[in-house]
Amino acid sequence: MTLEPQQFAFLGRVSTEDHQDPEASRNWQRQRALSLIEPRNGAIVAEYFDIDHSRSVPPQRRPEASRLLELLADPNRGFDAVVVGEPQRAFYGNQFAMTFPMFEHYGVQLWVPEIGGAIDPANEAHELIMSMYGGISKGERTRIKTRVRAAMAAMAQLEGRFLGGRPPYGYKLADAGPHPNPSKAADGKRLHKLVPDPQTEGTVRRIFAEFLSGLGIFAIAEGLTRDGIPSPSAHDRKRNPHREGVAWAKGAVRAILKNPRYTGHQVWAKQRKDEVLLDVNDIQLGHQTKLRWNSDDEWVWSDRPVHEPLVSREEFGQVQTLLGSRGRTRGGEHKVHRTRHPYLFRGVVVCCLCDRRMQGHWTNDEPYYRCRYPQEYALANRVHHPRNVYLRERDLVPALDEWIAAEFAPGKLAVTLDTLASAQQEQQTSHTREIARLHESIAECDRKLAQHRAALEAGADPTLVTEWMKETQAQRSAAKVKLDRSGQTSGRMSKDDIMNIVEALGNIADVLHHADPRDKAEVYEGLGLRLRYQPAHNTVRAEVNLDPHRSLNHPYGEMVRVRGGT
């Protein structure tokens, strides 16, 4: 009897967290899959291989695996079975039990080497084996996490070893000799230690001294900005391109005052990663990782000072006592304060002078929106900005409601929908160009990485080449993240889609005229309303964008006057 050829889709995954080679991992997983199906005249016609995704992420949230699952319902999918190279790579914990019913429902076989062929839904042994491998996968990951955390805690406490990351402001990294692991030392990896940075260590000492003398955090930040001392982000622009300006923020001063490493001790485990269910009512969505602060008594301190201190242990303790007496310390219980007053435009009003969101401010028994910008910050950032900018809500609402009602009135609705749909087309074109640029950036990074590896093999300085590779890999990762996000927001709405949203909002003119403030705020939110206030001319640009992803590249808007004008 001759077996009929089968068309297979290959499903695999690799996590690069442990510096695995994605290509090598893909090759051996694919080879295992081929060794299972080729003796039965099977052939792989499609591949779905996820890179840099933890096994704890369910298949429904891995890009390639989710594409495969969506195709199961398509009779023209191009394959009639799926094969995996290793079950631990594909399924973790109870993921198999959450996923396999989809294969069974659409009549698509799932082949696994450990089963020796296709999984039989009626075979209890098959289900038991797959559940066992899911448990092994989860247990393996848990054991690795436990060992790594225990080892890092021991290295921090007993050896005082610098465990990576950015050096705190006031310090810089210095070479501390070859890595004690022979294999890592052979790859050119070296240890590092913290040494005072001559350019910034005096600023750290000044901050602690001024705080102990009675100055508040805001006064310290204003003083540093007034004296022209670059903030941490301005001092190291290369590693802080996402931050703007040279002005000191209160958060930066507080972070320095709370950092125990200025005492000369190595401190580890100030933060932890918790896995939290995305939806407790839908467990199959899996977890998301959240970074949270540990309480002070959970921090791991080195047994002795391991680098030059910038403040004494006693001074640091006094500062923590003062911080605790002046307000809630990090890690304490925080009570969520509910807003007492309604604001129609919460989070949607932007100040044109500094491009920051204006905050709701209740005064004289009515709502305002305020942008507070200290003079020292304005001077440091070369921004002409009053200390306070105010916009009264009731000066804006009548003109805004009149414009919205007119644009969405039955007589003009068709023109408005055409304009919004046209803006969608322009946005889609821009989005396509951005995706192409990101692909080019990733390809260029791959080319540079290949050159760096060649230089390393040719005998170049391992330390220097390693730094090059780290920088290039960081650029590649940033481009990859942007590309992934672009893929999630690439959908374009048709004219009918926009019409459905408008119909769901109901009679907009009637709602805006008679609505309760909370209902009116929901209408504004449904329209994707964004407001930009120009204080110099007392004008507000109102922008409407019905795209669910709320991209403001091509909104539909109009300028309206406020404070007495229409």
* pLDDT value, residue 4: 58
* pLDDT value, residue 100: 92
Tokens standing for 407? 């644009």
* pLDDT value, residue 550: 44
Distance CA 133, CA 122 (A): 18
- Neighbouring C-alpha atoms within 13 Å toward the C-beta of 203: 24
Query: Is residue 331 very low, low, confident or very high in pLDDT (cuts 50, 70, 90)?
Result: very low
The Cα-based distances of 87 to 21, 346, 370, 485 in angstroms read: 19, 48, 56, 28
Query: Is residue 449 very low, low, confident or very high in pLDDT (cuts 50, 70, 90)?
Result: confident
Residues 503 and 483 in one domain: no
Residues 505 and 487 in one domain: no
Neighbours of 354 (CB within 10 A): 19
* pLDDT value, residue 69: 93
Residues 106 and 201 in one domain: no
The answer as to whether 374 is a domain residue is: yes
Residues 110 and 10 in one domain: yes
The answer as to whether 108 is a domain residue is: yes
Distance CA 102, CA 124 (A): 18
Residues 356 and 221 in one domain: no
CATH of the domain at 225: 3.90.1750.20
Residues 200 and 306 in one domain: yes
**CB-based burial label for 565 (10 Å; 0-12, 13-18, 19+):** exposed
Is residue 204 over pLDDT 80? yes
Domain count, the chain: 4
The answer as to whether 150 is a domain residue is: no
Residues 320 and 227 in one domain: yes
The answer as to whether 316 is a domain residue is: yes
pTM value > 0.85? no
Distance CA 327, CA 332 (A): 10
CATH of the domain at 122: 3.40.50.1390
Distance CA 359, CA 371 (A): 6
Distance CA 321, CA 344 (A): 41
Of the two residues 370 and 493, the one the predictor is more confident about is 370
Residues 438 and 472 in one domain: yes
The answer as to whether 73 is a domain residue is: yes
Kindly report, residue by residue over 340-367, the tens digit of the pLDDT: 677 888 888 999 888 889 999 998 889 9
- For residue 512, give the nearest of 502, 521, 499, 500 by alpha carbon: 521
Residues 236 and 317 in one domain: yes
Share of the chain above pLDDT 70, in %: 77
CB within 8 Å of 145: residues ≥ 6 apart: none
Among 468, 492, 516, give the residue marking a domain's end.
492
Residues 373 and 509 in one domain: yes
Query: Is residue 514 very low, low, confident or very high in pLDDT (cuts 50, 70, 90)?
Result: low
The answer as to whether 319 is a domain residue is: yes
Residues 428 and 483 in one domain: yes
Q: Which range of residues forms the domain containing residue 433?
A: 424-492
Tokens standing for 103? 């294969």
The answer as to whether 395 is a domain residue is: yes
* pLDDT value, residue 390: 92
The answer as to whether 342 is a domain residue is: no
Give the bridge partners for 47, in sequence order: 10
Residues 134 and 34 in one domain: yes
Give the bridge partners for 272, in sequence order: 292
Among 492, 513, 537, give the residue marking a domain's end.
492
Exposure string of 193-224, with b = 16+ CB inside 10 Å and e = fewer, is bbbbbeebbebbbebbebbeeebebeebbbbb
Kindly report, residue by residue over 217-273, the tens digit of the pLDDT: 989 998 998 888 988 888 887 766 656 556 788 889 999 999 999 999 999 988 888
Kindly report, residue by residue over 388-433, the tens digit of the pLDDT: 899 999 888 888 888 877 776 666 666 666 665 565 555 556 667 7
Kindly report, residue by residue over 64-103, the tens digit of the pLDDT: 999 999 999 999 999 999 999 999 888 888 889 889 999 9
